[in-house]
Amino acid sequence: MTLTTLRNWQTQGAIANRFCLIQTYPLNTDRFVQTRDIQLINDDGIGYYVSCPPFSVILPYLVFNLLRLRPSVLGLRAINLVCHLVAAVLIYLIAISILPTTKWRNSGAVMAATLFIFLPANMWFYSNTYSWDILWQYTWILGFACW
């Protein structure tokens, strides 16, 4: 879903589509096609995904445009892994702030960050998927770190 939207925005323009999560490619033969990702089809036969906020797709769109890269699975994985690294650093900082000041404080924070990095669910989701729910996990972690 994310990659389809990114490719459509790259060819048709994100502003031209009002940052709607378009799921229909620009060819006339692709119109009025119903898939599991298309939840709304307008009168022109263009399908949209409407269940998640567009910022989760705007962020990689900006990254790909700033780096002048074509949207790809590898690029989405790289964005996710960079965000995962930043989240691990934030988990470390959160643990430092809540653990009592002892000689084990730093070790406990490193352990928390290491667990976050190497938990099987985190490793699978952060390296194989990019969607709005993954982005929300990053914003929750950032919120706790700033709190």
pLDDT of residue 71: 93
pTM for this predicted structure? 0.77
> Do 56 and 131 touch, CB atoms closer than 8 A?
yes
> 118 and 95, same structural domain?
yes
> 133 and 94, same structural domain?
yes
| 3 has a pLDDT exceeding 80 | yes
> 45 and 16, same structural domain?
yes
Confidence of residue 146 (pLDDT cuts 50, 70, 90): confident
**Domain stop point among 36, 66, 96:** 66
**Domain stop point among 66, 91, 116:** 66
> 101 and 116, same structural domain?
yes
> 51 and 20, same structural domain?
yes
pLDDT of residue 110: 94
Residue with the two structure tokens 């009168």: 43
- Nearest CA to 64 out of 106, 8, 125 is that of 8
Number of structural domains found in the chain = 2
**Domain stop point among 66, 84, 111:** 66
Residue 103 structural domain: 73-146
Q: Per-residue pLDDT tens for 8-65?
A: 889 888 888 888 888 887 777 777 777 766 778 888 878 888 777 788 889 899 999 9
Helix pair 73-98, 132-146: axis angle to 10 deg: 30
Q: Which residues touch 46 (CB under 8 Å, ≥6 apart)? A: 22, 24, 31
Q: Per-residue pLDDT tens for 81-100?
A: 888 899 999 999 999 999 88
Structure token pair of residue 76: 């989405």
**Arithmetic mean of pLDDT, 56-84:** 91
pLDDT of residue 62: 93
